[in-house]
Amino acid sequence: MEIMAEFARIIKDAPNLDDSDRDCLHRLVADWQVIADLGYMDLQLVIPVADGHFIYAGQCRPSTGVSIRPDDLVGHLVDSDMRALLMRAMGSHDIFRSRQEEKDDHDDYYDDEDEERDTTPRICDTFAGIWHNGRAIGVLIRETNLNTRGIAGRYEREGITAAKALFSMVSRGEFPYSVAVNKQRHNPRVSDGFTVLDSHGVINCSSPNAISCLRRLGFVNELEGRGFDDVIRELLGDNKEAIQQMQPIYSGMEPADTTLEVNGSAIAFRTLPLNGPRGHFGAVILYRDITELRRRDEQLKTKDATISEIHHRVKNNLQSVSALLRLQARRTKNDVVKRALFEAQRRVQAIAMVHESLSQSADEMVDFDAVLHELLRMTIDVEARSDQHISLVFEGKFGKMPSQDATPLSLVLNELVTNCVEHGFEGRTSGTITVSVARWKNDLNISVEDDGIGLEASQQMEHDDGESGLGTQIVNTFISSDFGGTVTRSSKPEGGTRVDLTVTLRAAQNAERI
């Protein structure tokens, strides 16, 4: 038996589906939890594959009750004895059951609560073809345990009726809705509260959690029998703009979602219209109290703003230090001191640019390519002689990385490019520096190469200039200590110098382990 793990891959490989059909199935799966939760039912999505077989493409269990299907069906072929039922569903807009023991939608509950009941599950499968653009593209199966229906209360019965209506709408191509209504970050759920409206927008019943949500907003009167629009108007008073915003919700005529904030509470609403064979006959309103979630979001925004401001101030302070070093370098008459101060200023500026990037990021991650491009071009502009034209070429992408990795890596690459400019093009008016990177997860292979005078000549020049080799020490120390990597220097056969680095982004690696 072939097993396919992913819903997206299963429908992608289905031979009879086009992109529009796949989008319809994605929207169905995005919304079918509502049906399962309202109706305390298990759902399976089945689509045809080659040679007359069918495969389970999706499965949904109720979060409001116990599932009767503990095993995972996704990716399994449907048993051959069900093919006739599935073919029948694919050829009709009608829904039908595998057994006729389930009563009418409005009369499938026990009247005598004292009647002794058999606890052995009596499973009833109900089939609905999934219609899209005038043809059936799959079958939706609902599974219910008939023996549990006798313990349902008033609002459970109303929820089951609404679930059956939504299930029937699938067979007529009316569900999922053509307009997506699950766009909120914290979507309302059945378990968080629901209200059932009739065709006139009057409240038939509300679950206890729905009543609690409305009480949080300040509505304490009886709900049943009231128009839902009256409830909203009583909550909002003279706020005509807010009432207008809520109109799609309380009308129940179209799918809609919004959030209402009153009395310090925030409640997310979602409306799901209910249609029968003769048209619209009601709606389900879903709720979710997101007051605490909103408060946490605000705290996170404040935290992010604070961190951003800290990075901004660090950047400003580093730029002040950089400016002081540059000023001091210009005033000194000792060439060795002047060069050392300019190099220190350049290194401080490199760190400042990393913090500038962090001040514009909400996730403490640095867009390293953007930082590096700006930093190295600035370095070349400063270090190159006025009669030199040195090009900078980038190959590959570094991607994003934490500041703990970005700061030392930017210093390393800045040192290497600076060395190329200062010692690689002596006696030349033009040249090219190429920075290449290949990244696999947190492992990087980096090369910095030039087409200059070669390794031996540039090292001799560095020695003749009397330099301390601090740049080389910075490169070696950071690569070995911060990244556990290696540094390899070589001369290119065609002329020039190449430095190869192997780097593991340890901060990024540690963050993934947490």
- For position 269, which CATH number holds? 3.30.450.20
Same domain, 44 and 22: yes
Contacts of 278 (CB under 8 A, 6+ apart): none
- Residue 195: HSE in the Cβ half-sphere, 13 Å Cα cutoff: 29
Q: How many CB atoms lie within 10 A of CB 455?
A: 18
Q: Considering 338, 363, 388, which residue would you say is the last residue of a domain?
A: 363
Instruction: Identify the CA nearest to 175 among candidates 356, 60, 34.
Output: 34
Q: Answer yes or no: do 343 and 445 share one domain.
A: no
Shared-domain flag, residues 88 and 160: yes
Length of the chain: 514
514 and 410 together in one domain: yes
In a domain, 510, yes or no: yes
SS3 of 107, please? coil
Tell me the whole-structure pTM to 2 decimals: 0.64
Based on the domain organization, do 150 and 251 belong to the same domain? no
- pLDDT given at position 438: 95
Three-state SS string across 23-76, please?
HHHHHHHHHHHHHHHHHCCEEEEEEECHHHCEEEEEEECCCCCCCCCCCCCCCC
One domain for residues 202 and 166? no
Q: Taking each helix axis as running N to C, give the angle between helix 154-171 and helix 19-39, from 0 to 180 degrees, rounded to the nearest 10.
A: 160
pLDDT of 315 reads 78
Those residues with Cβ within 8 angstroms of residue 233's Cβ, 6 or more apart along the chain or in another chain: 243
| Residue 229, number of CB atoms within 10 A of its CB | 19
The angle that helices 455-464 and 403-423 make with each other, rounded to 10 degrees, is: 90
Residue 391 shares a structural domain with residue 338? no
- Is residue 346 in some structural domain? yes
Q: Which residues make Cβ contacts (< 8 Å) with residue 286, sequence separation at least 6?
A: 34, 188, 189, 190, 192, 193, 194, 269, 270, 271, 272
Q: Is 126 a member of any domain?
A: yes
pLDDT of residue 124: 82
Neighbours of 214 (CB within 10 A): 23
Measured distance CA(61)–CA(459) in Å, rounded = 69
Looking at the structure, tell me whether residues 326 and 392 fall in a common domain.
Answer: no
Residues 407 and 402: their CA atoms lie apart, in Å, by: 9
Domain that holds residue 452: 366-514
305 and 269, same domain (yes or no): no
User: Is 104 inside any structural domain?
Assistant: yes
Query: Tens-of-pLDDT digits for all 514 residues of the chain?
Result: 343 348 989 999 888 899 999 999 999 999 999 999 999 999 999 999 988 899 999 999 999 988 888 889 999 999 988 999 999 999 988 999 875 444 444 444 333 444 455 556 677 889 999 999 999 999 999 998 877 665 567 888 899 999 999 999 999 999 999 876 666 778 899 999 999 999 999 999 999 999 999 999 999 889 999 999 999 999 998 888 989 989 999 999 999 999 999 988 999 999 999 999 899 999 999 999 999 988 888 877 777 777 777 777 887 888 888 888 888 888 888 888 887 888 888 888 888 888 887 777 766 788 899 889 988 988 888 888 888 899 999 999 999 988 889 888 988 998 899 888 888 888 788 999 999 999 998 999 999 999 988 776 556 555 555 444 677 888 999 899 989 999 999 988 888 899 999 999 987 667 665 4
Please say whether the beta carbons of 219 and 235 come within 8 A: yes
Residue 6: predicted pLDDT: 80
Same domain, 38 and 51: yes
SS3 annotation, 295-353? HHHHHHHHHHHHHHHHHHHHHHHHHHHHHHHHHHHHHCCCHHHHHHHHHHHHHHHHHHH
Structure-token match 């009316």, residue found:
174
Residues 6+ apart with CB under 8 A from 80: none
Domain final position from 313, 337, 363: 363
Cα separation, 218 vs 222, in Å, equals: 12
How many domains is the chain built from?
4
Instruction: Indicate whether 179 belongs to any domain.
Output: no
Domain-embedded: residue 408:
yes
Q: Is 182 a domain residue?
A: no
Q: Which of 363, 394, 413 is the last residue of a domain?
A: 363
Per-residue CA distances from 92 to 168, 277, 467 (Å): 12, 14, 86
Q: Is residue 474 part of a domain?
A: yes
CATH code of residue 21? 3.30.450.280
The end-to-end CA distance of the chain, in Å, is 38
- What does the alpha-carbon distance between residue 437 and residue 70 come to, in Å, rounded to a whole number? 48
Contact yes or no for 402/508 (Cβ under 8 A)? yes
Region class of 253: left (phi > 0), else alpha (psi between -120 and 50), else beta:
alpha
Selection from 107, 109, 96 nearest residue 146 by Cα: 109
Going by their DSSP bridges, the two strands 203-206 and 365-367 should be labelled as unpaired
pLDDT at 44: 96
For residue 297, the model assigns a pLDDT of: 81
Q: Three-state DSSP class for 215?
A: helix
Let me know whether 318 and 440 are in one domain. Answer: no
What CA–CA distance (Å, rounded) separates 107 from 88? 26
CATH assignment of the domain containing 391: 3.30.565.10
* 416, amino acid identity: L
In the sheet that holds 443-450, the strands lie side by side as 389-395, 430-440, 443-450, 497-504, 486-491
Q: Which residues of 31-46 are buried (b: 16+ CB within 10 A; e: fewer)?
A: bbbbbbbbbbbbbbbb
Give yes or no: residues 320 and 269 share one domain.
Answer: no
Which residues have CB under 8 Å from 325's CB, separation 6+? 341, 342, 344, 345, 348
Task: Quote the pLDDT of residue 460.
Answer: 53
> Which residues partner with 125 through β-bridges?
143
